Amino acid sequence: MPLATSEYVSNVWREGIFDDKVVFCTGGAGSICSAQVRAMVYLGANACIIGRNVEKTERMAKDIATARKGAKVLGLGAVDVRKPEALDAAAERCAKELGSIDFVIAGAAGNFLASIDNLSANAMKSVIDIDVLGSYNTVKATLPYLVESAAKYKTDGKTPPAKGTGGRIIFVSATLHYAGTAMQSHVSVAKAGIDALSVNIAIEQGPRGVTSNTIAPGAIGGTEGMDRLSRKEDRERSAKMIPSQRMGTVKEIADATIYLFSDAGNYVNGETIVVDGGQWHMGGIDKGGFEYPDFLLSGETVTGVAGGKKASKL
């Protein structure tokens, strides 16, 4: 049964604005990225979502396709973003079966809680490889298609583009590195790298009509990440640390996506759109009930959450 549209997109957007367009998304079976893609599909796009888990990715693709009658959504599992040849093949298949790649969402990511003294070199490398190298590989695989789309769907900022927009990429980042966040050094480094990558792509590919921007979500309720990285009993207290006094929704990330990909976002390039209710301005000390600095000084490893790591020696 299709999700209510109010769960993943606002009613301010006109239906059909992405007709005949294709969005390619890594991490597309995840809570946030699937909402981004679902909103695009509802508004006319076809899609190709990429993931490592075959069953989960194919199941999510079928679910997303219910957003619009006649929608085509490919679910390509067994694709590791750390392997460029796998992404090259996925992009080629997407363009061949759906006709193009007009929009890209680089959303594949890995995360867990661990202080630096409990973080192994392999664990650090894994996050860097998935987030940074994976984003780089996504760009390399899809850039030729994005350049082609940008040339086809030029915008001048004066008149609404008759055939819509194209040639745009969004990276899914975070705000963890803005003020520093305990037990997230690995992810903070990775997301800072993604932010830098996005800006450089904007500078280099802007003259070809391609735009590159980043969305930095804050605490988004009901997502896999929130369930894995926080204790249920601590979430209400953590929400009170957010100026907006609540966690965000996946719909609010999807709306930011539509803005950047639509005619409204034509002149936005090389920017980061923070969607966090003002949370990052409060600093990065609070982390789901693990008291600062007592927990860190104790030398204990994280327990009570699914996304923890065993201790490792420095």
283 is written with which tokens?
């600093």
Contact (Cβ atoms closer than 8 angstroms) between residue 298 and residue 102: no
Give the pLDDT band (50/70/90) at residue 222.
Answer: confident
Most confident of the ranges 16-30, 105-119, 226-240: 16-30
Instruction: Say which residue the tokens 């490398």 belong to.
Output: 125
What domains can be seen in the chain, in order of their start residue?
Answer: 12-298 (3.40.50.720)
Contacts 24+ apart (CB under 8 A), 139-142: 139/104, 139/106, 139/169, 139/197, 139/201, 140/84, 140/87, 140/88, 141/84, 141/87, 141/88, 141/90, 141/91, 142/24, 142/87, 142/91, 142/101, 142/104, 142/169
Most confident of the ranges 130-134, 158-162, 232-236, 301-305: 130-134
Percentage helix, strand, coil for the chain under 3-state DSSP, each rounded to 5? 45, 10, 40
Closest-CA residue to 230 (of 312, 146, 306): 306
pLDDT at 229 over 80: no
Which listed residue (149, 185, 188, 191) is catalytic?
191
**Is 83 a known active-site residue?**
no
Contact (Cβ atoms closer than 8 angstroms) between residue 269 and residue 198: no
Identify the pLDDT of residue 223: 73
pTM of this prediction? 0.90
**% of the chain residues with pLDDT over 70:** 88
pLDDT at 230 over 70: no
Contact (Cβ atoms closer than 8 angstroms) between residue 185 and residue 113: no
Judge if the upstream peptide bond of residue 161 is cis by omega within 30 degrees of 0. Answer: no
90 is written with which tokens?
């996925």
**Is 158 a known active-site residue?**
no
